[in-house]
């Protein structure tokens, strides 16, 4: 190998290293931007007043009517659970049941508002959710359907990336939010801890 070939190869190598460092830096910046732009479901609610929630009640007080469920609950301790219909499954039902049992036994005036989100017509869920209630027999939970779309009420800042979003509230204020891609009754203590249980 001649000295000239070595110099050319060295320049090419330095150029490649320079470009790869630049590329790595660019990739790192893009990843950081993507992370900063990702908004967790319900994140717009941190320590705010609980926004209105007009939904059609399928099981509970106000059956068949469009009701502001936040107004109905008032300042009472409440778990607002938003469920993407296509991700409703047995493990999620076990979480809902465990929360219902613990709130019934340990939280005076506590309650759960479970709201199903879907792009489909609400009539199907209005017929289906009473059958769910017959199966899991909850006593502290109101079942409702958001009559808009699967993104839910705009003021709640929900996303479709999270299959279940739980917002804990007391005194008309948001305490904390939890988001899950998959969940089961093992996640109940995280939610109950919001109320000191």
Greater model confidence, 29 or 103: 103
Alpha-carbon distance of 110 to 125, in angstroms, equals: 25
Sheet holding 173-180, edge to edge: 66-68, 54-59, 141-145, 111-117, 78-84, 164-170, 173-180
pLDDT band at residue 38 using 50, 70 and 90 as cut-offs: very low
Residue 169 and residue 75 share a domain: yes
Residue 147 and residue 78 share a domain: yes
Domain CATH for 80: 3.40.30.10
Q: What are the pLDDT digits (tens) for 90-125?
A: 999 999 999 999 999 999 899 999 999 998 888 888
Residue 69 and residue 5 share a domain: no
Q: What are the pLDDT digits (tens) for 136-183?
A: 999 999 999 998 888 899 899 898 888 999 999 999 999 999 999 999
The domain of 13 spans 1-38
- Most confident listed range (37-41, 130-134, 190-194): 190-194
Percent of the chain whose pLDDT exceeds 70: 81
Residue 34 and residue 103 share a domain: no
Residue 52 and residue 11 share a domain: no
Residue 50 and residue 25 share a domain: no
- Backbone φ and ψ of 37, nearest 5°: -80, -20
pTM higher than the cut 0.95: no
Residue 132 and residue 73 share a domain: yes
Mean pLDDT of all residues belonging to the chain: 84
- Number of domains composing the chain: 2
Residue 78 and residue 28 share a domain: no
Alpha-carbon distance of 80 to 107, in angstroms, equals: 15
Residue 73 and residue 142 share a domain: yes
How many helices (H) and strands (E) would you count in the chain?
Answer: 5, 7
User: Quick one: pLDDT at residue 18?
Assistant: 64
pLDDT band at residue 36 using 50, 70 and 90 as cut-offs: very low
Residue 114 and residue 88 share a domain: yes
Residue 98 and residue 57 share a domain: yes
Spatial CA neighbour of 87 closest among 190, 158, 174, 192: 158
Residue 33 and residue 53 share a domain: no
Spatial CA neighbour of 115 closest among 131, 98, 96: 96
- Backbone φ and ψ of 9, nearest 5°: -65, -40
């Amino acid at each position: 190998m001649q000295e000239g070939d070595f110099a050319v190869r060295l320049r090419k190598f330095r150029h490649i290293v320079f470009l790869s460092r630049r590329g790595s830096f660019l990739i790192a910046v893009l990843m950081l931007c993507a992370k900063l732009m990702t908004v967790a479901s319900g994140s717009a609610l941190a320590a705010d007043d609980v926004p209105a929630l007009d939904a059609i009640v399928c099981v509970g007080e106000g059956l068949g009517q469009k009701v502001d469920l936040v107004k109905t609950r008032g300042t009472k301790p409440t778990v607002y659970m938003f469920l993407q219909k296509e991700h409703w499954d047995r493990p999620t039902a076990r979480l809902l049941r465990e929360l219902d049992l613990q709130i019934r036994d340990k939280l005076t005036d506590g309650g759960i508002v479970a709201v199903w989100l879907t792009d489909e017509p609400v009539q199907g869920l209005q017929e289906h959710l009473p059958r769910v209630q017959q199966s899991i027999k909850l006593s502290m939970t109101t079942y409702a359907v958001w009559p808009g779309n699967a993104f839910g009420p705009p003021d709640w800042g929900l996303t479709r990336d999270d299959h279940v979003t739980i917002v804990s509230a007391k005194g008309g204020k948001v305490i904390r939010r939890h988001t899950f891609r998959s969940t089961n009754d093992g996640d109940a203590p995280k939610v109950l801890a919001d109320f000191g249980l």
